[in-house]
Amino acid sequence: MTMNATPGTPGSGTTEAPKRRPTINDVAEAAGVSRGTVSRYLNGGKWVSPDAQEAIHRAIRRTGYRANQHARSLVTGRANALAFLLAEPQDRLFADPTYTPLLRGAAEALTRRQMTLNLLVASTPEERENVVAYMAGGHVDGAMLISSHENDPLLDLLLSHGIPVVSCGLPLGRTDTVASVSVDEAGGARAMVAHLRSRGRRRIAMITGPLDQPGGRYRLQGYREELGADFDEALVAHGDWGRESGSAAMTELLARAGDIDAVFAASDAMAAGAMATLRRAGLRVPDDVAVGGFDDSPLAVNLDPPLTTMHQPFDRISAEMVALLLETVAGGEIKSVILPARLVVRAST
Amino acid sequence: MTMNATPGTPGSGTTEAPKRRPTINDVAEAAGVSRGTVSRYLNGGKWVSPDAQEAIHRAIRRTGYRANQHARSLVTGRANALAFLLAEPQDRLFADPTYTPLLRGAAEALTRRQMTLNLLVASTPEERENVVAYMAGGHVDGAMLISSHENDPLLDLLLSHGIPVVSCGLPLGRTDTVASVSVDEAGGARAMVAHLRSRGRRRIAMITGPLDQPGGRYRLQGYREELGADFDEALVAHGDWGRESGSAAMTELLARAGDIDAVFAASDAMAAGAMATLRRAGLRVPDDVAVGGFDDSPLAVNLDPPLTTMHQPFDRISAEMVALLLETVAGGEIKSVILPARLVVRAST
DNA sequence: TACCCTTCTGTGATCGTGCACAATAGTGGG
DNA sequence: CCCACTATTGTGCACGATCACAGAAGGGTA
């Protein structure tokens, strides 16, 4: 019933419009109501009579209607999309297995909310400008900033443009002005050191990440705290997260202190490099030197021996990032969430 | 000069509009031309006098104008965005290092064109429906389909909705109706087998991927072709790309034929699994059994010994995918691009 | 009956852009 | 002097939705 098309249309017979996307007007017509009512139905359904709801529901099914996001965004000013913003230089990202599960988790969390994830890469200063201009252009409602450094110019740019941001990892220097989700870096480091000690190790070295990043700074801090009086400056070397740097740092450590019986690397990749150096030096893992990592990346299980490491709950991190960012966009207050890391014991310790 | 605001507005004094985004009208006013002229300038600049061009250019700089993509998309019907569509079940993607560089490369290629990359995940049938509905809603202009299987229902859905698609890897069963970019699977496999032979190996086994995927099927085909008369059915086992399956396949192979002196695994992860099994069986790599992989993933260099493998040119693949998809969107004919794989010799052979 | 309140519905205005079309000015040929 | 033609510019309309507002229907109270 009421299968009537718009009357008075100059006809090419039966089906005159081959495949035009149905609009809200088509739905309204099919349901016998006005587009205002359909619009209200779509946005919460308040102040719509049960009869109308039923009719509209069926009309939508029948027509296969889906709202045009562009039209919607134009009038509301909201994009229904979030940016996943990668700010690392190329070389690192290529080898970094860390953000893959984050990305995936974020995409899923957004899909569930009928929103979109836009992937943006800002390695160079030029790309940085582009990306910020893009975001300030209203294409997205907010940004998940993945790997931030202390006093990151990108973060400043975003904030100065009033773009809602949630940082993955505590944003050094801006802890109270930016929402963030991070793993308990210091706590994780302490747990690893405690584990190594429980294995009877006494000369525990550390290979840190860059100290201008939270993962670099706080994992070192946890290591230092847990060791307390046993802390020895000579047992600390610095890396850049990557495998090669771990290898180099291990060489340096061995030169400085021959009696090392354990190493805690702030990333699995650096742990892999350290293990290669140890092997080359004729030292066995874990018999002579135990090795612990951080991240629990896919890499860890492929090493020989498989690597003991701190597991990061990437799925929870990404889910929290999305939730927090949406809160921020909605005008909520700035919050920070810290999630626990979990020790995963394998054969390397 | 001409700092006058719109006259007749009931005033709150000097600056009445604190921070409204500049529109094309603001630019037109600032440049002293009409919005039509500005619009023409933005879309190619044809039929705009040099004077006007200059004025508009300066007005844009001064106002900081950026076109509103939503308004633009609303009228043109083009989203200026492409989807990166992941269609694998969860477990596999998590461990798969393959698509990370692809994703990154695609994002960069699009950024360069002032376009956006939307990441979509379709693991479950339900997500599949969602994602297709989303795309059919005009949010994106086309899709890069990452890991397709033979007679993939997702691919069918996309095609039936008229969504332009480029497949990463030859789409089995639809080779001539879908644009695709792939590596020379068979050629790569042949190169690896030839390499193993050049090392003096004669009993070369293979661990394949799923045969309903191009990488599974064609790498096996290349292996078979290169071996010719030496091909022996007993030396072929099947895996699912993952490490565990490689481990299991190797066990099976050793049980079937004790005289194996080389293995070609269709993925680095499976090669890693195979190496673990070989070690457990007391066989040395490469002394007793040489091992070759495929992908040149970050994993390869971390194995012990480092893995000889076929390098996939991910950066070129992603660039070609974007280019091809945009051609398809623009109505170009369906094309397929095949890129060469390159042998990377390391210590495992 | 008159009035207000609640619940539901329809209509006009609006978002910022591209596009078709008309209008204008300048140029050269007949 | 008129016409055709090109180069350039301005203007109305459409895209598809949300939102504010006004109006209609029904029910309770003075």
Q: Stretch B57-70: mean pLDDT, rounded?
A: 92
Check pLDDT > 90 for residue A8. no
| The pLDDT of residue B285 | 93
CB A285 within 8 A of CB A274: no
The answer to whether strand D lies under 7 Å from the CB of residue B70 is: no
**Encoding tokens for residue B134?**
């989303």
Same domain, residue pair B288 and B332: no
**Does A216 lie in the same domain as A277?**
yes
Residues of B in contact with A67 (CB under 8 A): 137
Q: Assess whether A207 and A280 both reside in one domain.
A: yes
Same domain, B178 and B211: no
Q: Which nucleotides of D are covered by protein (CB under 7 A)?
A: 7-12, 14-21
Pick the most confident of A81-90, A238-247, A257-266: A257-266
B67 pLDDT exceeds 50?
yes
Q: How many domains does chain A have?
A: 2
- The whole-angstrom distance between A85's CA and the closest CA on chain B is 11
Distance in angstroms (rounded) separating the CA atoms of residues B174 and B152: 10
A166-225 residues touching B, CB cutoff 8 A:
none
Question: Nearest Cβ partner of B107 from A121, A298, A303?
Answer: A121
On whether both A280 and A197 belong to a single domain, the answer is yes
pLDDT at residue B11, rounded to an integer: 33
A319 and A176 share one domain = yes
Q: Which residues of A touch B243 (CB under 8 A)?
A: 301-302
Same domain, A150 and A92: yes
Q: Tell me if B58 is assigned to some domain.
A: no
Most confident of A265-274, B3-12, B125-134, B297-306: A265-274
Q: In angstroms, how far is C5 C1' from A45 CA?
A: 22
Q: Is the pLDDT of residue A285 over 70?
A: yes
- Residue B312 CA to residue A147 CA, distance in Å, equals 27
Q: Average pLDDT, stretch B80-95?
A: 74
Task: Give whole-number Cα distances, B329 to A18, B164, B339, in Å.
Answer: 20, 6, 22
**Range with the largest mean pLDDT of A297-301, B2-6, B139-143:** B139-143
Rg for chain A, CA atoms, rounded: 27
pLDDT grade for B267, boundaries at 50, 70 and 90: very high
Nearest nucleotide, C1' to the C-alpha of A47? Answer: C8
What are A46's two structure tokens? 């308040």
pLDDT at position B305, please? 92
More reliable by pLDDT, A46 or B256 = B256
CA of B115, C1' of C17: distance in angstroms: 17
- Residue B20 in any domain: the answer is no
User: Tens digits of per-residue pLDDT, A20-40?
Assistant: 789 999 999 999 999 999 999
> Would you call A118 an interface residue with chain B, using a CB distance cutoff of 8 Å?
yes
Both B209 and B256 in a single domain?
A: yes
- Owning domain of residue A231: 185-311
Task: Judge whether B155 lies within some domain.
Answer: yes
Q: Which nucleotides of C are covered by protein (CB under 7 A)?
A: 7-12, 14-20
How many Å apart are CA B17 and CA B152, to the nearest integer?
A: 53
Q: How far is the CA of A79 from the C1' of C5 (A)?
A: 38
C1’ D18 / CA B112, Å: 33
Helices (H), chain A: 24-31, 35-42, 50-63, 69-76, 90-95, 99-112, 125-134, 153-160, 185-198, 214-227, 243-256, 268-280, 298-302, 314-329
Q: Which residue of chain B has the CA closest to A72?
A: B70
CATH number of the domain to which A104 belongs:
3.40.50.2300
Q: Six-digit token pair at B43?
A: 């879309």
Test mutation, B116, B243, B270, chain A, max A CBs within 10 A? B116
pLDDT, tens only, B188-224: 999 999 999 999 999 999 999 999 999 999 999 999 9
Which residues in chain B have their CB less than 8 angstroms from residue A298's CB? 94-95, 97, 299
Q: Which nucleotide is nearest to A43 (CA to C1')?
A: D18
Domain co-membership, A152 together with A254: no
In the predicted structure, residue A10 carries a pLDDT above the cut 90: no
Average of per-residue pLDDT across B215-234? 96
